[in-house]
Amino acid sequence: MKAIILVGGEGTRLRPLTLHCLKSMVPMLGHAFLEYQFAFLRQHGIRDIILSTCHKPELLRAAFGTGRRYGIKLHYALESQPLGTAGAIRNAGKFINRRETVVVLNGDILTDINLTRMAAVHRGQRSVLTIGLTWVEDPSAYGLVQTNQAGRVHSFLEKPSPGEGQTHWINSGVYIFDSAIFDQIPEGENYSSERQLFPELLSAGQRVWSFPSRDYWMDIGTPAKYLQAHQDILEGRMFMLPIGSVAKKNSKLYMGKRCRFHSTAELSSPGILGDDCFVAEEARIGEFAVLGSKVKVGPHAVIRHSVIWDGVDIGEGAKLSGCVIGSACRIGRFVTVRPGSVLGQGTIIPDYSVV
Ligand code: GDD
Ligand code: MG
C-alpha cells in the first residue's frame, strides 16, 4: 500500500509558529512532526509516501529529500493553488495506479490507530472508503461521523453548529481509499473531502465504512494541542521516536549531546533537553519542560510545562510556564511568560516584561 499525506494547509491556528515553519514540520521532542507519521506508516509496512504539498513545498524537500534517511520513499505532489482536501488527493493520485488501495492522512495528526486492522475492515467490507474514527469530548471543531450498528457510515457533518450533530465520534483524518474514487473528484478544482466528496459518496449509496478506535489520537494544529501532545508522548501515552539518552536512571528525563548544567541547577522528569544546552546555577527545569538544541537558561530561571525551540536564550530569573517559544527568541531577565503565550521566531522580550 502507498500513502498520501496532506500537508498543504497554511497552519493558521498555529501562528506565529508557522510563519517560518510548516505545521507538518514543527519540532516535537527533537523530531520534525512528519517523522512521527513516517514512523507510524512504516510500522504498518508502508514505505511509499506521497506528500501532497501546496504552501512552501521547498521547505519539505530541503528537510526530507527522497526520504531515504527515514527508510521510506517520498514523492512530492505540488499544487500551484490550494486544491482543498479532496482536490489535493486527486492531484497526488497521479503517483498511484488506479487498482491500488491507498492510505490518506491529514498531515497534523499524531496517532497510534491500528492501520493494519483498519485495512482488514476496508477489505472485509468491500468499502470504497473507510474512515478512522476517534472519540472526543468536544466534537465541534471536527467532522462528525454517524454510523449504523455494523459500522457503515450514513452521515458526515463537518464542523457542526452548536446543537447540531449527535455523536462524539469524529473523523480522525485517517482514511483508506479505493483509488478508483479519485476519478470522481473534479480535476484541478478546489474540492473538499469533508464538505463535498464524503456527503456525495453517501448520498450515492456507496459503501463507506468506519473504523472506531480508542487508541491515542491528537490533532496538533493549535498551540494548546501541540503542547498537550508533548506531554502525552513524555508520559508514554503513545509510541515515541528515539530522543536522546536518559539522563537519570529510571527517569523520563532525556538529554541530547554536550549539554552542560551547573551543579545547583535542578532538572525534573519528565522532560527533554536537546543537544548543546546550557543551564546556569539554581535554574529549575521543571516537569514537562521541552528544550530544543542550543538553548541557554540563565541563573534562577524556572521553566515548566513549556516547549522551547532551538537557539533560545532565557535570561536570569525568567519564569516560563505553559508556553511555546519559537526559535532564536531572546527572553530578558526576570521576564514572566504566562500560560497560553506563543512567541514567534526571533521575538525579543525586554527585561522585567510580563507576556
Ligand atoms: N495539499 C493540500 N491542499 N493540503 C491541504 C489543503 C489543500 O488545499 N487544505 C488543507 N490541507 C491539509 C492540511 O495541511 C492538514 O494536514 C489537513 O489537510 C487537514 O486540514 P486542517 O486545516 O488541519 O483541517 P481541520 O483540522 O480543521 O479538520 C480536518 O481534520 C479533523 C481531524 O483533525 C477535517 O478532516 C475534520 O473532518 C477532522 O475531524
Ligand atoms: Mg487539523
255 shares a domain with 221: no
Q: Which of 59, 91, 108, 174 to mutate to test the pocket of ligand 1 (most atoms within 8 A of CB)?
A: 108
Q: Which atom of ligand 1 is nearest to the CA of 7?
A: 14
57 shares a domain with 197: yes
**DSSP 8-state symbol, 29:** T
Per DSSP, what are the bridge partners of residue 6? 52, 106
Q: Which of 227, 235, 298 is nearest to 261 (CA)?
A: 298
120 shares a domain with 49: yes
Q: Which atom of ligand 1 is nearest to the CA of 170?
A: 39
According to the model, what pLDDT value does residue 253 have? 85
CATH of the domain at 13: 3.90.550.10
Quickly list DSSP for 285-307: E-TTEEE-SS-EE-TT-EEESEE
3-state secondary structure of 88: helix
* Residue 243 maps to a domain: no
270 shares a domain with 220: no
* Residue 242 maps to a domain: no
**221 Cα–ligand 2 center, Å:** 5
3-state secondary structure of 28: strand
According to the model, what pLDDT value does residue 14 have? 92
Q: Which of 239, 130, 128, 221 is nearest to 174 (CA)?
A: 130
Domain count, the chain: 2
252 shares a domain with 184: no
199 shares a domain with 276: no
Q: Which domain holds residue 266?
A: 248-349
Per DSSP, what are the bridge partners of residue 255? 245, 273
What is the model's pTM? 0.94
* Residue 194 maps to a domain: yes
According to the model, what pLDDT value does residue 98 have? 84
* Residue 240 maps to a domain: no
CA atoms of 337 and 153, how far apart (whole Å): 46
Q: Give 116-172 as a 3 state SS string.
A: HHHHHHHHHCCCCEEEEEEECCCHHHCEEEEECCCCEEEEEEECCCCCCCCCCEEEE
* Residue 65 maps to a domain: yes
Q: For residue 147, what is its C-alpha cell? A: 454510523
According to the model, what pLDDT value does residue 249 have? 64
139 conformational bin, left if phi > 0, alpha if psi -120 to 50, beta if neither: alpha
Instruction: Report the pocket of ligand 1 as residue ranges, CB < 6 Å.
Output: 6-9, 52-54, 79, 82-85, 88, 106-109, 142-143, 158, 170-171, 173, 194, 219, 221
* Residue 228 maps to a domain: yes
According to the model, what pLDDT value does residue 296 have? 98
* Residue 163 maps to a domain: yes
Of the three residues 235, 261, 282, the one that is the final residue of a domain is 235
pLDDT tens, per residue, the chain with 355 residues: 999 999 998 889 999 999 988 999 999 998 999 999 999 999 999 999 999 999 889 999 999 999 999 999 999 999 999 999 999 999 999 999 888 999 999 999 999 999 999 999 999 999 999 999 999 999 999 999 999 999 999 999 999 888 787 899 999 999 999 999 999 999 989 999 999 999 999 999 999 999 999 999 999 999 999 999 999 998 888 877 777 677 766 678 888 899 999 999 999 888 999 999 999 999 999 889 999 999 999 999 999 999 999 999 999 999 999 999 999 999 999 999 999 999 999 999 999 999 9
340 shares a domain with 263: yes
Quickly list DSSP for 165-216: ---SEEEEEEEEEEGGGGGGSPTTS---IIIIIHHHHHHTT--EEEEEE-S-
CA atoms of 162 and 340, how far apart (whole Å): 25
Ligand nearest to the Cα of 191, by number: 1
Ligand nearest to the Cα of 89, by number: 1
